Structure formats: C-alpha cells, structure tokens
Chains A and B, each alone.
Chain A
Amino acid sequence: MRFAAGMPERATDGSPPTIDITTRPEVDDATLAAQTAPTSSALVPIHPADERAPDLDDRAIRKGDVDAWGRSERVREVARRIYDPIYRHYFRAEWEGLEHIPQTGGALLVANHAGAIPSDAPVIMHGIETELHRPVYGLAEYLFRALPVIGTLWARAGGVPAHPDNAYRLLHDDAQLALVFPEGEKGTGKLYRDRYKLNRFGRAGFVEIAMRSGVPIVPIAVVGAEESMPILFKSKRIAKLLNVPYVPITANHLLFGPLLGTALYFPAKFKLRVLPPVHFGVPPDQERYSRSRVMEEADRIREQLQTALYDMLRSRRSVWFG
C-alpha cells in the first residue's frame, strides 16, 4: 500500500505520537507464544516480502494515489480537513483507551452502530487517522458500490465492501486497520426508544475473519451517535418499495424539514471508549473454526461492548455536554 508505506514518515516528522506504547495491554504468554511461533504466520507481517506491493517503477508512472482498495490519501486529507471542525467542535469527540489500538499490524475494529445515517463511522475513522496516523478502512454494505458518485467518494474515503475475502486481505495481507459494525443495518435502523441496546451480531462472521487473519479484535463503544440522528418511526412498506433496508422519519426531519433533516445531525457529545484487544490464540488460515467458539467469542465481545456502553451512560450527565 502506498499510503501505508508513507506512514512512518508522517509519524516521525509530524507531531510526536501521543500514545504511550508501554501501556499496551498485557497478553498472556501462551497466546503471544502461539502467535509468534515461527511455524505459523500468526503475527501479521507489516508488509509481506512478496510482490504484492506495487512495483517501484509504478511510482514514476502513477498519476494518482488511489490504492488497491480504492482509497485515496489525498481525498482523505481533504475530507479530514473539512470534517475536522465537525469532529472537534460539533460532536466534540473524546476518546479513552486509544492506546489499545495497535500502531502496527492488522486489527479488526468492532463498534456499535447508530443513527439513521450513521455518524459513528466517520468519527471513528477520522479520530484514529488524526490521532494515530494510521489509515482505517471502513467495511460496509455492498450497496454503496452500486451507487454512482456516492459509491466512488465512499471508496476514495476508505470504504470497502464487507466481503469476507476483502476483510481477510486487508487484515492479513496488508496488515491494516479495518472497521466493522457487526449489527449492520439492524443497528442504524433501530428506533430511538431502543437506543444503546445492542442487536445481535449477525452470524459472527467478523470473529471468524479475525481468527483466519490472525489479528486481534479491538472493540470500540460509541456514545453519542444514537442522539445525533434518532429514528422516531420507520416505514416498512416504503422501504420494501424502494428496496432499501429502512426508510426512517428522524427527529431531525421533524425539526429541520425533510431535506435539511437528512443531512444535519444534532450536536450530541461523542464519547468513544476503546476496550482491550481480544486475542483468540488460534492458528490463522484454517478452513473453518469451531462454530460454538466463534459464537461464544462474538457474544463475549457483544457483552463487553454492552457493559461499556451502560457504564459510559451511567456517568453521562447530558446528551449534549457529556
């Protein structure tokens, strides 16, 4: 990846890294040993020595910086500049536990999902890219790829269709950070009265992918997205007619009207808590993993996230001021 190759320079000549690596969570020795064992490729190499990275000659030929995933660091740069005031002054995002996100190597970031048009994905991606200077690839619905303009912008900004093989390549081969919302549209489509109650985590495919790629899962609990665009009603019938997951009437619609209400979020205070990484201690690249183990791990991660959310909500005094 071109961008990844350029990353260390950014980290060194830019602002000094704010993360203290020494406070990385402790992994029990057995897990670590299993992962560093020379016989397995468990610990993801930062850049495999094979020829997957673009040719050196390519650099002289290339006119753009769009990588194999359709992401463009230049587009991200512009997007970050535009989004930064929103991130800092509108949502006033606040992180804790950022040191849990590995600075090198692949990791699957897993978060709760909310808001009729989810506001959590941009906040997480922007936050990690500005704080850690690492690109984040957002795994999402295939649907984006079928949309003109939006689909292209989405891909340039780091969106990747959530195909299991795409995720595996990102995590295992390219050692990148990938963000996934296991709740999917069930999370963003839930009504305001169900806020912060996690839906089921699908078929737990994300756990299997992390196991296969040999990377840890880093859960992220997000508070604020629910209130930024709460859904009051949903129409199943119109959704069916339009062939979309849901058609929401949000509080934003009622307050700002149908057009502005679709684009304008409420300035809810965002708080994000990164939980310690979950290592599985299983060999990567297996044909299949025990179904029960996978479901069990998914449930455990879901519970951790739910507990963290309730804990954060307990200490939250105001939706708007945190």
Chain B
Amino acid sequence: MRVLVTGLGTFWGSHLAQQLEERDDVEVVVGLDTREPRLPLERTEFVRADSSYSILHRIVQATKVDTILHTHLIVDSTTLSGRAMHEINVIGTMNLLAAAGAAGSAVRKVVVKSSTLVYGANYKDPYFFREDMQRTRGPRTRVERSLMEVASFVRDFAEDNPHVIVTKLRFTNVLGDLLETPFSKALRMAVVPEITGFDPRLQFAHEDDVTGALLYATAHDVPGVYNVAGDGTLPWSEVCAIVGKRRVPMPPVLTALAAEPLRMLRVLEMPPEMLSLLRYGRAVDNQRFKKAGYRYKLSTAGAVDAFARSLRLERTVGEHDLTYRYERDVETFFRHSSAVVREAE
C-alpha cells in the first residue's frame, strides 16, 4: 500500500502517518502540508505544499500512491479565518479529488475525515442521526457550509470513479489527551460555560477511536458514509461533572452576543456550531460502522473519562506532551547520511 496523507502538520495527519509507518503492508507514506510534521516520523516523506494542493497532481502521478487519507479538513472554525478554511476545505478537497481521479492516477481508495457538523444542531432534529438523514435546517456557519460542499464533491467523485473505494467518516466531537478542540478548550477552563435551561445530549469519540477508525477504513474496504461516535450519550451537565468542573450559565437569549466578550478577552472562543450544540445537542447512530466491523475502544462516557484522567495528570505534572520540532537538516541527516548506521541494511 502506498499512502498519501494530507494535513501531516495537523494532529491527525502526524498520528496517522506514525501508525501507518508501523504497518508492514504500507510501503510508502507521503505526507502533505504547509506546516511541519508534529511528531517524529521514521520513513514518511514530507512534502511542503501550498494549502490548495496545486502540486498534488504531480505528486500523485510521481509517487503512484494507491490510497489517499484526507485528514486535512478544518472542523474547528476558531483556528482559522473563514477564507483560509474555505481554501483548505473546499479548494483543497477539489484539487485532491481532481488529482486522484485524473488519468494515470493509481489511486484506488480515498478516505475522508469529515465531521458530524454536517448534520447541524436544531430542535427539530431526530435524537439519533443516521448516515442517510438530512439536516433539518440549512447550514448557517462557514465551516458547515464548507463541509457540505466537500460532501458533494466526494459524492460526485465516488460516482464518477466507481473503481475507487471512497469512505467518508463523520466524526463526532473528539476528546483526547493531546488534541485541542472547542470542547476540550472549554473543559480545560476553571469553569465551563453552559446555556441556562439547556442540558443537551452530546456524544464524544476518543482520539484513539478517530485514528483507529481512519486506519480501519484504510486497511479494510468499507465504501460509503459512516458516523463515528462513542456509544451512548451524556448530558452536558454530566460531562462537566465527570471532568469535575463547575458550570457558569450563559443567557438563553442573545447567547452569541454574551459569548463575544469571552472571545475578545481570549478567554474562550466558542464557534457558533458549539453554541447550537450546547443548546440542542446532537447524537448520531454509530451502528453502520460497527456493522462494517469496527470495534470501538471507548464509549462516549469512556472518552470523557479518559479526558478527565489526562486532565488530572496534567494538573500534577503539567504539559506532558513531548513537544517535537521538525528540523529539515536533522531529518535529512538521519535518513540519508552515510554516517548513520542502519541496522536493516
């Protein structure tokens, strides 16, 4: 298997590349990003590309990759401007799929990491979204619109290229030791926001299940759209209780306005998607991916508990993430210098 991973400079890209390296059936891992990898990688080839992937066509042709793992979709709208997000999500995916579908491309599998944000959060929603259900209200935010657009590209691509296995995974809110999401940021604060009078049902997936699910889809042939979320649902109040945080109420009307000072003071930035989640919540049906053979490591409560544990450790020993800085010269030295003794040879 020759794999191309997009977003190597992101949490997901780096972790997936690291795990792909350990697999014997993976011959080549090519990583693409504008930023440097976040983790030390043994044999992944890192290509620095501009965010709209215009050189992608050439890379796909030259490396003859057969699998594309598209992890580089921005789902947290607080990290980037709307324009940059559009560039990465929409234009990036468009170019990627164009390159994958071009004549002479060896690509036979595309795995896309999407988000349950495409379902929105509204009071008319079913309590559990299945993959074939539509959202009950049009997308209102930039990130949702861009993800919907990506979804339609992927759908078209799958239709136009029946010889390619296209898997789209829609992940729910993710919690983990290292990952930063709007929810993890909120739960790291001394007190956690809630919207007065609302205690929505939420679902979480642990970061290991996200990489696990993406690797499962890479290793197995599971075409189609799948929801990925830990079993069960938890009310927001209980999530806070498990993490051991007190809640502070925000007004149920003009909530976005009330959240604005927090953003301006850089205390906490809550994207509009998160505000509607804190109001109505969302849960998805995760049965389809289970039937496709995936076994979850953690349930929703398990993911929240794992997060609570890592917070406790953090409280005692501080930041326990081993920070890694990519340095091109050092990497080149270790990989190609004759001075380095390589045991395998």
Contacts and interface: CB of A to CB of B under 8 A. Distances in A.
B302 A148 contact: no
Given A64-B238, A152-B198, A165-B133, A50 B127 contact: no
A152 B128 contact: no
A205 to B, nearest CB: 14
Interface string B60-97: 00000000000000000000000000000000000000
A111 interface: no
Interface string A56-68: 0110011110101
A54 interface: yes
B283 A151 contact: no
B126 interface: yes
Interface residues of B, number: 33
Interface stretch (B37-45, B181-189, B229-237): B229-237
B57 interface: no
A85 to B, nearest CB: 27
A63 B305 CA distance: 11
B305 A61 contact: yes
Secondary structure at chain B's binding surface: helix, strand, loop or mixed? loop
Interface in A57-98: 57-58, 61-64, 66, 68-70
B197 to A, nearest CB: 3
Given A62-B238, A64-B238, A52 B127 contact: no
B127 A68 contact: yes
B187 to A, nearest CB: 14
A145 interface: yes
A149 interface: yes
Interface in B118-153: 123-128, 130, 133
B201 interface: yes
Given A142-B123, A166-B126, A148 B195 contact: yes
Contacts of A66: 201, 234-235, 238
Interface string B275-287: 0000010010001
Interface residues of A, number: 31
Nearest to A170: B127
A51 interface: yes
Contact of A63 (B201, B241, B302): B241
A283 interface: no
Contact of A142 (B124, B198, B235): B124
B208 interface: no
Contacts of B302: 55, 57-58, 61
Contacts of B126: 163, 165-166
B287 A148 contact: no
Interface string A176-220: 000000000000000000000000000000000000000000000
B10 to A, nearest CB: 29
Contact of A68 (B133, B233, B242, B280): B233
Which of B127, B198, B235, B301 has most A Cβ within 10 Å? Answer: B127
Contacts of A169: 127-128
A261 interface: no
Contact of B299 (A58, A146, A148): A58
Nearest to A60: B305
B199 interface: yes
Given A54-B301, A57-B299, A152 B127 contact: no
Given A55-B299, A64-B238, A169-B127, A145 B280 contact: yes
A22 B233 CA distance: 38
A64 B127 contact: no
Contacts of B310: none
Contacts of A165: 126-128, 130, 133
B127 A55 contact: no
Interface of A: 50-52, 54-55, 57-58, 61-64, 66, 68-70, 142-143, 145-152, 160-161, 163, 165-166, 169
Given A68-B233, A69-B127, A166-B127, 7 more contacts: A52-B231, A55-B232, A63-B241, A66-B201, A68-B201, A148-B195, A150-B197
